[in-house]
Amino acid sequence: MALVEFADFSFKYLGADSLALRKVSASVNEGEYVVITGPSGCGKTTLCRTANGLVPHFHRGYIAGNVFIDGQNTRDATVAKLASTVGLVFQNPANQLVTLNVEKELAFGPENLGVVPEEVRQRVEEIIDLLNLEHLREKHPHEMSGGEQQRVAMGATLALKPKVLVADEPTSNLDPRSAELILDIIANLNKRNGMTVILVEHRLDLVAKDASRIILMDKGQIIADGIPRDVLSMDISSEIGVGIPKATQVYKRLQAKGIELSRVPLTGEELALLVGEAKRR
C-alpha cells in the first residue's frame, strides 16, 4: 500500500451545508513530491488535515471512505500517533505556535515524540542553522513578523524529522528570497533523505520544477493529477484560476497561434532554450 492513501474519502464539517471533500481518491508513494493546488475554498487545507488526523479527530463532522497513513487507518489512530509519521505546517503559522520562545517551539515537537534530550538539543541547533533563526532564538513566537513566524512554524515541523511533510501554503508570508530558500531546503530533504512531500501552493512557478506531481482540486474533488508540465498546460488549469508560470502561459498562447515548442516550459530560461531549439530546427 502507498505511504499515504486517500480512499474514496468524503468529509463535511460539523454544521456545514456542503461537503468539503467529495470522494477523494489518491495515493502518494514514499519519496514523492506532490503539489496540491486549486481555487480558494476547494478543500486543500481540509485534505492536509486528513493526513495527520486533525480531520476527523479535532475537526469533527461527517466522514465517508478512509485515509491510510503508512497502512494505518486514520479513523483508528490518534493525532499523537500519526505525528510520528506526518508533520503538518499550518496555513496560518500563528495558530501552530504554542510555546514562549523560538528555541522551545523547535524542541516542543520532538520532546512530545519522546526523542531523548540530547538529540532534541541537536535537532534544535540544526534547524536554527538551516533556517537562519539565530537572531530569533529568544523571541516570543507571537511577537515576530508574519514571515518570521512562518519560518519558525516550518522549522518546528522539520524538527520532527517527519517521514511525510505536509505543508499548507508555507511560503505565503515569505519574502521572495526566503521562499526560494525554504523551497530549496524542502526539495533537498526530498531528494537526499527521501522525505515525502505534500505541499499546497498557489504560486506554481516556485514549485513546479521540484514537484513530481501536481494534484488539481476544485469544489472538494480532484480534477487532475499528473506531472507538472501536463497539468499546468491543461485548459482547465487556467480556467479555474491556477497560478500558472508565465513561461507556460507564453507557451499556451504560442500554441494557440500554431507555434509549437518541443515541450512545455516551466521557467523563463527553459522558454528561451526551447525557442532557440525551435529556431535551429
Partner 1 sequence: MIMIEDVHFAYDGIYTALQGVSLQIEKGECVAIMGTNGAGKTTLVKHMNGLLRPQHGRVIVDGADAKNLSIAELSRIVGLVWQNPDHQLFLDSVRKEIEFGLKNLGFTPEETDAQCTQTLKNLGLEGLAERSPFALSGGERKRVALATVLATEPQVLALDEPTIGQDAQQKELLARMLMDLNDRGRTVIVVTHDIEFVIEHFPRTIAMAEGRIVADGSTSSVLSNEDVLERCSLTLPQLTVAARALHKAFPQVSERLTLLSELEDAVSGILGGTQ
Residue number with the shortest CB distance to ligand ATP? 147
Cα(19)–Cα(231) distance, rounded to whole angstroms? 25
CB–CB of 133/152 below 8 Å?
A: yes
Q: Counting contacts by CB under 6 A, is residue 50 touching ligand ATP?
A: no
Cell numbers found for residue 229 = 508540465
Phi-psi region of 43 (alpha: psi -120 to 50; beta: other; left: phi over 0): left
Residues 83-102 vs Mg ion: string with x where CB under 5 A? --------x-----------
Cell numbers found for residue 140 = 516570543
Q: Give the nearer residue to partner 1 in terms of CB position, either 143 or 235.
A: 143
Q: Give the nearer residue to partner 1 in terms of CB position, either 82 or 271.
A: 271
Query: CA angle at residue 69 from 68 to 70, to 5 degrees?
Result: 115
Q: Counting contacts by CB under 8 A, is residue 184 touching partner 1?
A: no
Q: Give the nearer residue to Mg ion in terms of CB position, either 37 or 237.
A: 37
- Rg over CA atoms, the chain: 20
Q: Give the nearer residue to ligand ATP in terms of CB position, either 119 or 175.
A: 175
CB–CB of 76/94 below 8 Å?
A: no
Cell numbers found for residue 129 = 542553522
Range 253-272, binding partner 1 (CB under 8 A):
253-254, 257-260, 267-269, 271-272
Q: Counting contacts by CB under 6 A, is residue 193 touching ligand ATP?
A: no
Question: What is the contact surface with ligand ATP in residues (CB under 6 A)?
Answer: 13, 16, 20, 40-46, 59, 91, 143-148, 173, 175
